Amino acid sequence: MSRAVGRASFGVALAVLGLVACGNPPTGIAYVHERYRSAADTARASEAFHAKEHHGDDVVFRTQEKSREGYYFYVQLDQVPPPDGRLILEVVREENRPPVRFDFSLKLLPRGWFGELVIGLTGQDAGPSTWRPVAWRLSVTDAQGKALATRQSFLWGTRRDLGVR
């Protein structure tokens, strides 16, 4: 009798896992890591031999192109966006302030398994080295602005924003 109960319990557990997995579609964004980087942190060894900056397999976006020091988001997508897709980063810099929006084209995508989209809030957008965003949301959209994938920090949304009623 206990063997039958064990098998039934196992079957129920598998069914529940299957339903949970079906109820949570992939986000399209595998991960987002964030941290502050100095100008020296962003330099690569190859730059000692070459005059121009080389990003390897990564695609790097900076809000102030000539500045390297800043707050960076390292993003890997788990779905290929459309060629006319956009990468939208919204950042709440201070409490009780509206988010600041940054918009980047996804015409170039990272190469290989380890390539990342690297978004740097640099120059005046970076703030001091101790600054951290209050909240952020990263979205991949199509040309019409429809969100295809979204990832956000814990403090970004309200229950209504998250679609919870």
Mean pLDDT of the chain: 80
- pLDDT of 109: 78
Res. 25: pLDDT tops 50:
no
- pLDDT of 54: 62
User: Are the beta carbons of 99 and 92 closer than 8 angstroms?
Assistant: yes
User: Are the beta carbons of 95 and 134 closer than 8 angstroms?
Assistant: yes
CA 114 to chain centre: 14
SS3 of residue 152 by DSSP: strand
Res. 42: pLDDT tops 80:
no
pLDDT band (50, 70, 90) for residue 41? confident
How do the domains of the chain map onto residue ranges?
26-152
Alpha-carbon gap, residue 50 to 103, rounded angstroms: 30
**Mean pLDDT of the 23-30 span:** 66
133-163 confidence digits (pLDDT tens): 999 999 999 999 999 999 999 988 755 555 5
Structure tokens at 133: 């965003």
The domain 26-152: what is its CATH number?
2.60.40
